[in-house]
Amino acid sequence: MKMAEIRTIQETDEAAFMRFQAALLREKSPDVKVQEVTDFAAFVAESKTQETVATHLDYSTATTYYYFLANGELAASITCRWELDKGTLLKHGGHIDFEIAKSYQNKGIMTELIQFAFAQYRKRGIFDIMITTNEIDAFSRRTIEKNGGELDKITAITEDGQNLRLAHYWVHLTPDAELDEKVVKSYNAHSNHNMRRPVVKQEIVAFMRNKQHQLDGFLGEVEAFAHVENVPIIPHETVVYFQFLLQSLQPKHILEVGTAIGFSALLMADSAQDASVTTIERNPEMAELARENFTRYDSRKQITLIEGDAIDVLSELTETFDFAFMDSAKSKYIVFLPEILKNLAVGGIIVIDDVFQGGDVTKDIADIKRNQRGIYRGLHKLFDATLDNPGLNATLVPLGDGILMIRKLQETIDLG
């Protein structure tokens, strides 16, 4: 028996969509703003585009999901905006818009759709969700509150010539909720979600991710794939920083620990086109995906992938590197560092990603979840060994979940 499903719109859904739209237009709910669709094929194409590219200066990238009943009828929709710095979104637009035909209200459909949306935000590392609705829309307010919404304020606005009072809610998600099944199986609900929590204010993060140059071409494709499949890669603010850094330094020999699907290796190779890149990955599924991406996109044959445990591979390397990037098991950074330093030229730079653990490194260990304490201890050992070491020049940079940058000042380094 066919079950209800939640998914994006397709060209074959035209008849169901038009009936749904007609119902919304008839109801004229004060909080439902329906822009009538007349060219359905163009609407579907624009919806797909908007998932990755903001189609207007005042818009955010966004994905709209639809709730289809078992009989194929469309009951509700929810739009997830991925940034809040566009236009008036931070003031009164919010992350989420939802619409439901009145005949399907109070049946649990909207709650199911909202929880589905929350899962998508968790996958993107967004845990503070703003939702607004008309103050007099009792159904929407009840639904938001039922799903964890906390009323922040009521504001008066004028929109399309109408005076409205908007109720502003925030939902604070926990990062430990079970993630939906995805194509890439290696990252699951037990993955380290702390690295998805930016340590800078969310609106500043959104500004950096949206205002700076966006990737296109094959790098944009790999970045988009990682976001869809929930594969952790460096966030866009770090991407832009890496491009600036590597184009300025122009290293000749780059080492990476933690290939994943190959995104950062391809980024570094593209930014330093005369460099060789040696990258290490222990996860067979990730290594296979990376190998496919290198075959397809490493046109200058700069990248060498070594599959295996980093500690074993590092101890066997004989090449000298002038730049290294670590983005792997956070508790093992301090284990890998001595081996990398042995193979790093004096004056060489190491960049280590995700060192703040969503700010948890500032807490007492008693306040850290037990399954995160190994990471916590490892990172503090890393800080103790590097931040005040006379043989190193080290600095912390608040991009993404924090970057530790180290420059090797002398041949022999004592890490204590």
Among the listed residues 90, 89, 92, 82, the one whose alpha carbon sits nearest the alpha carbon of residue 62: 82
pLDDT per residue as tens digits for the range 312-353: 999 999 999 999 999 999 999 999 999 999 999 999 999 999
The pLDDT value recorded for residue 180 is: 40
- Taking the alpha carbons of 104, 111, 166, 32 in that order, is the dihedral positive or negative? negative
What mean pLDDT do residues 5-31 have?
85
Over residues 254-302, the pLDDT tens digits come to 999 999 999 999 999 999 999 999 999 999 999 999 999 999 999 999 9
| Burial letters 134-145, b for 16+ CB under 10 A, else e | bbebeebbebbe
Q: Tell me the CA end-to-end span of the chain in Å, nearest whole number.
A: 64
Enumerate helices (H) and strands (E) in the chain, giving the number of each: 12, 14
pLDDT in tens, 99-110: 898 888 888 899
| 271 annotated among ligand-binding-site residues | no
| pLDDT tens digits along 359-392 | 899 999 999 888 889 999 999 999 999 999 999 9
Structure tokens at 274: 């005369």
Residues 195-408, CATH architecture: 3-Layer(aba) Sandwich (3.40)
Q: Does residue 234 have a known ligand-binding role?
A: yes
| Dihedral pair phi/psi, residue 107, rounded to 5° | -120, 10
Going across the sheet that includes 321-326, the strands are 303-307, 276-281, 253-257, 321-326, 344-353, 403-408, 392-397
Residue 281 known to bind ligand: yes
264 is in an annotated binding site: yes
Q: What is the mean pLDDT of residues 130-151?
A: 88
Confidence at 196, pLDDT banded by 50, 70, 90: low
CA atoms within 13 A on the CB side of 292: 8
Sorted by where each begins, the domain ranges of the chain are 5-173, 195-408
CA angle in degrees (0–180, nearest 5) for 53-54-56: 140
Question: How sure is the predictor about 54, in pLDDT bands with cuts at 50, 70 and 90?
Answer: low
Which residues on neighbouring strands pair with residue 100, listed in sequence order?
A: 76
pLDDT digits (tens, 9 = 90+) for 41-53: 999 998 888 888 7
Q: Under CATH, which number does the domain 5-173 receive? A: 3.40.630.30
47 labelled ligand-binding: no
Q: Residues 159-193: pLDDT tens digits?
A: 667 788 888 888 888 764 444 444 455 554 445 55
365 is in an annotated binding site: no
Residue with tokens 């924090």: 402
Question: What local confidence, expressed as pLDDT, does residue 128 receive?
Answer: 86
Q: 176 or 85: whose pLDDT is higher?
A: 85
Which residue reads 């004989």 in tokens? 318
